[in-house]
Amino acid sequence: MVQAKPHLPSLTENLQQLSPSGSQQIIQFNHPEKYRTSEWYTGHGEIAASGDGRSFEISATYALKAEVKLVDGVFEPSNLTLAEVYNPRGRCVAIVDQTVDELYGESLRSYFEYHEIPLKLLACRAWESDKTPETVHRLLQFLGKDGCDVSRNEPVLVVGGGVLSDVAGLACALQHRRTPYIMVGTTVVAAIDAGPSPRTCTNGSQFKNSIGAYHPPVLTLVDRNFFGTLATGHVRNGMAEIIKMAVTDDPTLFELMEQYGSQLLETHFATLDADEKLGEIADEVIYRALFSYMKHEGTNMFETYQDRPHAYGHTWSPRFEPAAKLMHGHSVTIGMAFGASLAVEMGWLKLEERDRIIDLCRSVGLSVYHPILEDIDLMLEGQKNMRCKRGEQGLWAPLPKGIGSCDYAQEVSSGLLQTAVENHKQLCSSLPDHGKGKEIYLSDLGLE
Ligand SMILES: NC(=O)c1ccc[n+]([C@@H]2O[C@H](COP(=O)([O-])OP(=O)(O)OC[C@H]3O[C@@H](n4cnc5c(N)ncnc54)[C@H](O)[C@@H]3O)[C@@H](O)[C@H]2O)c1
C-alpha cells in the first residue's frame, strides 16, 4: 500500500505559524544548558521574521569565559591547578616549545605522572622563522584524527613563548573550528600579552601576523619562575609590552617601571637572586600589565572596536619589523618612541612626557630609533596596511595624551609623518648610542 506523503509545511506556512498576522515576529533562542558543547562557551540568538514570507534576520551572541591567574610553581606536584582540569578528562594533550621541553619537560612529565594523568606531548620548535602556515598544519596533524583526535571540549595545554601561543592557538581555533586551550606563557611576552590574547596567528608573506583567528585561551596561567632561564634579551623584549600599557593606560605601572624596571630586568623579574620585596613588585607589575591589557583586549575580543590602547607602537612597526629583522619588543618601542614624537608634533604630549617615555625604554636597553623609520614609502605602506586591517574609517593609531592615557590619530599625512620622523631622528642623534638599544636583531634563536 502506498502511504500518503506526510504534509511538510512550506517555509511560508512555517513563517505564517510564527507570524500568523503577517506582521514581524521575533523569536529569542536561549539554548538549554544540557545541550552545551563546552563548559567555556555559551551563546544565544534571535531570529526576526519580516512577516512577508521572504526574509528574516538573525542576530547571535557568542560568550566566552576566560580566566587569567598568577601562579607559583605550575608544575609542582602540590599545585593542583592543571591536575584539576585534566584529571576528570583522563588525559592531557600538550604542545610544548622545544626549548621549554628541554628545560622543563622533565618536571612537566613528572607532574602528570604524579597525578596519574596520561600525557600526549608534542615538542615543537617555535622560532620566529617557524611562524608559518606549515607549522600550523603540523600541529593540526597532531591534534587531528591521525594524531590525538582531541575532542571539542578537551582543552589542549600550550606551554611556551609568543610564537608558540600564536601558532598553537591558531591550530586550536581551526581544529573542530574551535577547540579550547590552556596557555602557560614561559616568556614575558607570552605571560603578559601574546599568551592571554585572543589574536592567534601565523605570519603571511609580507606582513607579520596577517593570517589568524580570534581564539583566546580559556585559562592563562602566569608563572614568572619560567623567566629565570630566559635570555636577558628576551626579558627586555617583553618589557616593551609592559611599557605600552603603562604609557597608554596605567600611570602607576609607569612609575613602578621607572623605579624598578632595570632591577626587574637584571633579576629576570626577581627569579635570580632577589629579595622578597622585589618579588612582590614583580607580581604587581605583571598583574597590572595583564589587567590593563585584558581590560581592553579581553572585552573587545573580535576587535569589533578600534579604541585599543594596546596597539600603541604597533601601527608602523608590523611593516618595518620584518624588513629590519628586529626583535618584536624593540620594534614596538621604536614605534612607541616615534609615536611619542608624533604626539608632541600634534600637540597631544608635552616634551617632558615624551622624554619620560624615551628614558624609560632606554633604562632597560630597549631601542627608540632605527634608520628604517626614514624610509617614508615603507612607513606609508605600513599605514595603508593598517588602515585596511583596522577598517577604512581611519588609521586608529593610539598615541599618548599624557602619561597613562591615549587617544587615536585618524589621519597622519605624509608631510606630518616626515616632519615627525626628522624631529625624532634629531632628538635620538643626541643620545649616546643614537637610541639603538641592546640585542635588537632577530636570529634563529631570537637574539642577535
Ligand atoms: N597574539 C598577540 O597578541 C601577540 C602579542 C605580542 C607578541 N606576539 C608575538 O609573539 C612573538 C614573540 O614572542 P616571544 O617574545 O615570547 O618569543 P618566542 O616565542 O620566540 O620565545 C623566545 C625564545 O625563548 C625560548 N623560550 C621560551 N620560554 C623560555 C624559557 N622559560 N626559558 C628559556 N627559553 C625560553 C623560545 O624557545 C624562543 O627561542 C612574536 O612573533 C609576536 O608577533 C603576539
Mean pLDDT across 264-292: 96
Gap from CA of 66 to ligand 1 centroid (Å):
21
Question: What pLDDT sits at residue 207?
Answer: 67
Mean pLDDT of the chain: 92
pTM of this structure: 0.92
Of 167, 189, 222, 325, the one to substitute when testing ligand 1's pocket (max ligand atoms within 8 A of C-beta) is 189
Query: Residue 167 pLDDT more than 60?
Result: yes
Quick check: CB of 362 below 6 Å from ligand 1?
no
**CB-count burial class (<10 Å; 0-12, 13-18, 19+) for 100:** buried
Give the pLDDT band (50/70/90) at residue 433: very high
What pLDDT shows up at residue 448?
38
Minimum CA distance residue for ligand 1 atom 12: 162
Q: Whose CA is nearest to atom 4 of ligand 1?
A: 194
Which residue has cell 583522563? 90
What is the distance in A from the centroid of ligand 1 to the CA of 189? 6
Closest Cα to atom 15, ligand 1: which residue?
189
Residue 9, pLDDT > 70, answer no
What pLDDT, on a 0 to 100 scale, did the predictor assign at position 22?
63
> What contacts 416, CB < 8 A, 6 or more positions away?
342, 345, 346
pLDDT at 208: 74
Q: Is the CB of 187 under 6 A from ligand 1?
A: yes
Contact 38, 54 (CB under 8 A): no
Binding site membership of 308 for ligand 1 (Cβ less than 6 Å): no
Does 445 sit in the ligand 1 pocket, CB within 6 Å?
yes
177-181, 295-299, 391-395: the lowest-pLDDT one: 391-395
Q: Which CATH number does the domain 305-429 belong to among 3.40.50.1860, 2.40.420.20, 1.20.120.140, 1.20.1090.10?
A: 1.20.1090.10
In angstroms, the CA 92 to CA 199 distance is 24
For a substitution probing ligand 1, which of 68, 99, 223 has the most ligand atoms within 8 Å of its CB?
99
- Concatenated DSSP letters of 3-53: PPPPPPPPHHHHHHHH-TTSS-EEEEEE--GGG-S-SSEEEEEEEEE-SSS
Confidence of residue 13 (pLDDT cuts 50, 70, 90): very low
Q: What is the pLDDT of residues 399-412, one digit of tens each?
A: 999 999 999 999 89
| Best residue for ligand 1 mutational test, from 95, 165, 166 (most atoms within 8 Å of Cβ) | 166
Measure CA 147 to chain center.
Answer: 27
Give the pLDDT band (50/70/90) at residue 334.
very high
The pLDDT score that the predictor gives to residue 56 is 95
51 backbone φψ class: left, alpha, beta (φ>0; ψ -120 to 50) = left
pLDDT category of residue 14 using cuts at 50, 70 and 90: very low
23, pLDDT greater than 90: no
Measured from the CB, is residue 207 less than 6 Å from ligand 1? no
Nearest-5° Cα angle at 320, 319 to 326: 125
The response to whether residue 236 sits with its C-beta less than 6 Å from ligand 1 reads no
Measured distance CA(131)–CA(54) in Å, rounded: 47
- Taking CB atoms within 8 Å and a gap of at least 24, the contacts of 12-21 are 12/53, 15/49, 15/51, 15/53, 15/56, 16/53, 18/49, 19/49, 19/51, 21/51
Q: What cell does 71 get?
A: 601562579
Domain spans, the chain: 11-63, 67-230, 305-429
Judge if the beta carbon of residue 202 lies within 6 A of ligand 1: no
pLDDT at 444: 53
Mean pLDDT over 133-161 rounds to 97
Residues 6+ apart with CB under 8 A from 429: none
Q: Does ligand 1 have an atom closer than 6 angstroms to the CB of 155?
A: no
Confidence of residue 226 (pLDDT cuts 50, 70, 90): very high
Give the C-alpha separation, 182 to 375, whole Å.
41
Give dist(CA 99, CA 126) in Å, integer: 8
Report residue 7's pLDDT band, with 50, 70 and 90 as the boundaries. Answer: low
Between CA 431 and CA 440, with CA 434 as vertex, the angle to 5 degrees is 125
Q: Which residue among 187, 208, 214 has the greatest number of ligand 1 atoms within 8 angstroms of its CB, and so is best to mutate?
A: 187
Minimal-distance CA residue to ligand 1 atom 25: 99
Task: Output the pLDDT for position 392.
Answer: 72
Which residue's CA is the nearest one to ligand 1's atom 44? 194
Given this model, what pLDDT does residue 224 score? 98
Four-CA torsion 393, 395, 399, 405, nearest 10 degrees: 30
34 pLDDT exceeds 60?
yes
Which residue minimizes the CA distance to atom 33 of ligand 1? 230
> CA-CA distance, 163 to 128, in Å (whole number)?
6
Q: Whose CA is nearest to atom 7 of ligand 1?
A: 194
pLDDT digit string, tens, across residues 80-136: 999 999 999 999 999 999 999 999 999 999 999 999 999 999 999 999 889 999 999
Q: Is 194 in the pocket of ligand 1 (CB under 6 A)?
A: yes
Instruction: Return the C-alpha cell found at 341.
Output: 614624537
pLDDT tens, position by position, 182-213: 999 999 999 999 999 999 999 877 667 889 99
The structural architecture, per CATH, of the domain 67-230 is: 3-Layer(aba) Sandwich (3.40)
Q: Which residues contact 241 (CB under 8 A, 6 or more apart)?
A: 188, 189, 192, 193, 289, 293, 329, 332
The CB of 215 under 6 Å from ligand 1? The reply is: no
Query: Does position 447 have pLDDT exceeding 70, yes or no?
Result: no
Strand extents, DSSP E, 101-252: 119-124, 156-160, 181-185, 199-202, 211-214, 219-222
Highest-pLDDT range among 17-26, 47-56, 169-178: 169-178
| Angstrom distance (rounded) from CA 121 to CA 179 | 17
